[in-house]
Amino acid sequence: MPTLLGLRAAALTVTAVLLSTVLAGCGDDDTQDGDLTRQELSWEDCPTPSDAQGGGAAPSPLPDGGEWQCATMKAPLDWDDPKGDTIGLELIRARSSGDEGARIGSLIFNFGGPGGSGVTSLPSFAEDYETLRTRYDLVSFDPRGVGRSAPVICQNDQQLDAYFQQDATPDDAAERTELLENTKGFNDDCEQNSEKILPHVRTTDAARDLDLMRQVLGDKKLHYFGISYGTELGGVYAHLFPERVGRALFDAVVDPTQNAEQGSLGQTKGFQLALDNFAEDCVSKAEECPIGDSAQDVKDRIAGLLEDLDRTPIPGVFPRELTQTAATSGILQALYSQEFWEYLTQGLQEAYGGDGSILMLLSDSMNGRKENGEYSNIAAANAAINCADDKPRYDTAFVERKRPEFRAASPLFGDYLAWGMIACTDWAVPGAADHPVVSAPGSAPILVVGNTGDPATPYEGARKMVEALGEGVGIELTYRGQGHGAYDSKNKCVQDAVNGYLLDGKVPRAGTVCT
C-alpha cells in the first residue's frame, strides 16, 4: 500500500466524497533562447478538473464574485538538463482583492500529500484565505507527477479497486506473499505507464519548480504557505535558496530528521493519540456515546469490528464490500479532522449493524476515489514522490522485526502502518536520501506552527523542523488543538499570528502558545 497520505482532508458528507492520463507537455521549450524564466503565462478561465485531478466541476466563483484563472508553466523535465525536454505544470490563481499599492506579491500554497492537486484544493478552501488575499494573489499548483502536471499513472480504476481492498495486514505466509505480489504489481505498472516522469518527481525537483514559478510570477522573494508535506517542500526550498525566502508559513509540520521508518512509527503514535482523543470526546458528551460505554470500550469495539471484517467483510458501497483494510483506512481518514468525528461515530454505529457504506466513503476519500468509480492519481503520485525521495527499502523480515514496536505504539493501527513500509521495496527509481535536508542559514524567518493533536504530522516535528532550519530561521508557534493543521482550525490566536506575519511582517514571539 502507498504510505499514508499527509494531505489535508476536504469536507465531505455521508452521501458524497469530495475530494490527461498521459505525460503532458513534453517537448522543446518555446522561449526564444531556452530561458524558461522569461516565459509569459497565459491565464484563462479554469477548465473542469481532469480525471487525474479528481474530476468534478470547474471552481466556483470567488467570494467577491471574481473568477479563478489557470495557466500552464513550462519547466524542465530534468533539472540536470534545463534546456532539454519540458513538462507543463498547471497553476491556479485568485487575484488580490485589495488595492494594487498594498499588494505584496503571490502567496504560493502546497497542500501536502505528497500527491495532492493544489489546483483543486485551493478553491475548496478559498474562504479560509480571504484575509490573505487582501495583499496577495493566491496561487497554487499541481506539482510534477500530480493532476495535470505530467501525472504519474499506475493502474486503472478496476485494478485500484482491488488494490485498496487487499489484506494489508497479512496473518500468514500466503497472505504475505499475496501482499508482496500485489505491491510489486502496482510498482511494476507505475514503471510501465510512467517510466519517463518517475526519475524526476523528487522534492528537490519540485523545489526548483517553485523557484522558477517565483520568477515567472515576477516576485523577488518566494512567499509561501506549506501544509503537511508542503512544509517539507518548503524546507527543501529554503535549503536550496535561503536568500530567496520571503514570508513563509509551515503548518502541520513534517519532521525532517526522520527516515521513512521513523516517520511511519511517528504517524502510528499520532493516529493512536487521535483515536484516544476521539474516544474520550465521544464518552464525555452529555448524551450517551452510541459506540461505547467508556473510551476503552469504544476502542475495544473498533478492534473487534476490524477482526470480524478480516474474516467476513460486510456490504460497503455496492457492489464493493467493506474489508478490514478499507475500514482501517476509513477510520484513519476520519481522524485527520475533528470535524469528521461525527461521521466516524455514525459510520461505526452503522457498521456494527452490518452497513459499511460510511466507512467505505471515508476510505474512498483517503484513496482519491469518486462516487462514479474513477480515481485521481493521488495514490500513484504519493508513491512515486515518496519512493523517489526515500532511500531506505524495507523487506518483510524488517517489517516482522518492527511489528512489536508498531503494535506497542498502536494496537489498532500498528500492523497496518508497519506493513505500509514495503511500498517502495520494488520501486524502479532509487531513493535520494534517508531524510530531507532543510538547513537554511541566511533565510528570512519562517513561521513553524505545530498542533499538539495532529495525527499525521505529530507535534514533535515542529520543534525538529525549527532546529533543522537553523538558529534564527524557524520561529515556533504551538496550537493546543485537534486535527491535521492549525490555521484552518479557525483558532483566532493562530490566525491572528499567521495573518500578522504574512500580511504585515510581524514575527510572533518564539514559543507562542495558542489554545
Question: Which residues are identified as catalytic?
Answer: 228, 454, 484
Concatenated DSSP letters of 226-248: EETHHHHHHHHHHHH-GGGEEEE
Contact of 467 with 450, CB cutoff 8 Å: no
- The maximal CA–CA distance of the chain, rounded, in angstroms, is 71
DSSP letter at 431 equals -
- The residue whose grid cell reads 458528551 is 285
For 339, other C-beta atoms within 10 Å of its C-beta total 15
Half-sphere exposure of 130 (CA within 13 A, CB side): 10
DSSP letter at 110 equals E
Contact of 501 with 449, CB cutoff 8 Å: no
Question: What single letter denotes the amino acid at residue 77?
Answer: L
Q: In which element (H, E) is residue 174 found?
A: helix 173-194
Torsion of CA 114, 484, 461, 492, to 10 degrees: 130
**DSSP β-ladder status, 44-45 and 69-76:** antiparallel
Paired with 90 in beta bridges are 72
Tell which residue, 50, 89, 56, has the closest CA to residue 71: 89
Q: In which element (H, E) is residue 136 found?
A: strand 136-141
Which distant-in-sequence residues (6+ apart) come within 8 Å of 362 by Cβ? 12, 17, 329, 330, 331, 333, 334, 340, 343, 344, 347
